[in-house]
Amino acid sequence: MTPAIDNPLAERRYLKMNGLGNEIVILDLRGESIRVRAADARAIARAQGSFFDQLMVLHDPVSPGSDAYVRIYNTDGSEAGACGNGTRCVGWAMMSDAGMGSGVRPLTVETRGGLLPIKPLADGGFTVDMGPPKLNWQDIPTRDPFFDTSGIELQIGPIDDPVLHTPGVVSMGNPHAVFFVDDPYRYDLERFGPLLENHPIFPDRANISLAATPRRDHIILRVWERGAGLTKACGSGACAALVAAVRRDLADRKATVSLPGGDLVIEWRESDGHVLMTGPVAFEHEGRLSAALFRDA
């Protein structure tokens, strides 16, 4: 086994942030050829100071016009295609003198889900252009061909009295299934989340959301994140919930989405079909990754 001290991530600086309580760790590996392994991500997540829901790793840009390529890791070491809350934190880190960059200007980062423009706001928040949702069953993806993905055949519970049923499915760079209910807090999402995340109908697994629409401009949301579990907030989940609600004529194209960690403003822009996510970020602390973290990685 390679000694822990030989791990190139040992003693690397990291930032610990959160977006509405969604725990984010940022590593800047621009200018390096280092790649984070799944075992490395799991090791970082186990440490108290660097625990995360998502680990955002900055690499040199790939596409022309972008400022960085960002790889996103869940606590189980799997990679995600998008993380809205984490992308806002990346924007702060790259734009803030206290972070990893300098100067406040719009940026564009790239993930597996595509190019994501980030715009700083006067109140300290950020707007991220999450791009257009993918609504075709092959792009989400689902195992079975569903020609209307606004509500697919999937349920939990007795066939004649299901507990949850007919979710809308959307990809925002990662797959989401949104179940509409009267009160998301009346359901045991910790119990149903893992079952639905790993349901065979989702070949790449899925993020599972429970959404209520008390008004057309307000969505109440809880999310079980693929590879991370129950979370205080999920930016891409909030985007998916609005898209799913609009498709069912339950919401307008712009709404406040209330998650356990706070509120996001989501707009599904009619002019180009892009989804815009606006919300705050919070810096917690910075630190160094101890070599001991990687002893068993």
Backbone angles phi, psi at 293, to 5 degrees: -60, -35
From 29, 41, 68, 83, the catalytic residue:
83
Residue 218's Cβ-side half-sphere holds a number of Cα atoms within 13 Å equal to 5
Beta bridge partner(s), residue 110: 69, 115
Tokens of 144: 């079975």
3-state secondary structure of 89: helix
Beta bridge partner(s), residue 219: 257
Is the preceding omega at residue 141 within 30 degrees of 0, hence cis? yes
Computed from CA positions of residues 181, 171, 274, 262, in that sequence, does the dihedral angle turn out positive or negative? positive
Question: What is d(CA 64, CA 220) in angstroms, rounded to the nearest whole number?
Answer: 38
From 90, 234, 242, 244, the catalytic residue:
234
Residue 203 contacts by C-beta under 8 Å, 6 or more apart in sequence? 141, 142, 143
Question: What is d(CA 126, CA 55) in angstroms, rounded to the nearest whole number?
Answer: 19
> Is 234 a catalytic site residue?
yes
Residue of 88, 14, 29, 17 whose CA lies nearest to 53:
17
Backbone angles phi, psi at 237, to 5 degrees: -65, -40
Judge whether 39 and 297 are in contact, CB under 8 Å.
yes
Residue 33 contacts by C-beta under 8 Å, 6 or more apart in sequence? none
Judge whether 197 and 167 are in contact, CB under 8 Å.
no
Question: Which amino acid makes up residue 93?
Answer: A
User: Which residues are catalytically annotated?
Assistant: 83, 234
